[in-house]
Amino acid sequence: MKHVFYPKNLIIIAAVFLWIAPTHAESTITPQYQKCLDNVDLGAMKNTQWAACAEEEIKRQDVILNAEYRTLMTYLSSGQRRALVTAQRSWLKFREDWCQFEKLGNTAPGGYANYSSCFLDMTVEQIKKLKSNQH
């Protein structure tokens, strides 16, 4: 039996994708970070420049992370709040330990650029997790 694909099916699939996609694609990365990356001189000390861009963005993301954490706390019971505090403390330690590992890793660009990039990426992902639990 041959399956016929009708245009209305495509419209339904597209509508579902557009409804779901923003929650997965949403990012808190700021335009300042992208502008900083765009201005990196690829010919001179680019790793240091990338790390400096990430450091500034980490400061901005840390503000967002703390705000999302506080917001999530308002949705939770006292038992859930205690569990979140424990989980967040564990996550902070894990983030630091993992990014120290990335700093020593064999992947380019290496060193502190890897550490700061890791730290930023993990922070952005944690913000998404905190936001996703506010429902």
Segments making up each domain of the chain, as ranges: 29-132
**Given this model, what pLDDT does residue 26 score?**
64
| pLDDT exceeds cutoff 90 at 126 | yes
Cα–Cα distances in angstroms (integers) from residue 25 to residues 22, 56, 58, 124, in the given order: 5, 22, 19, 12
Which of 45 and 116 is assigned the larger pLDDT?
A: 116
CATH of 29-132, one of 3.40.50.150, 1.20.1260.10, 1.20.1270.180, 1.10.340.30: 1.20.1270.180
How would residue 16 be classed by pLDDT, with cut points 50, 70 and 90? very low
**The two three-digit tokens of residue 31, written as one number:** 């335009």
Q: What is the mean pLDDT of residues 85-111?
A: 93
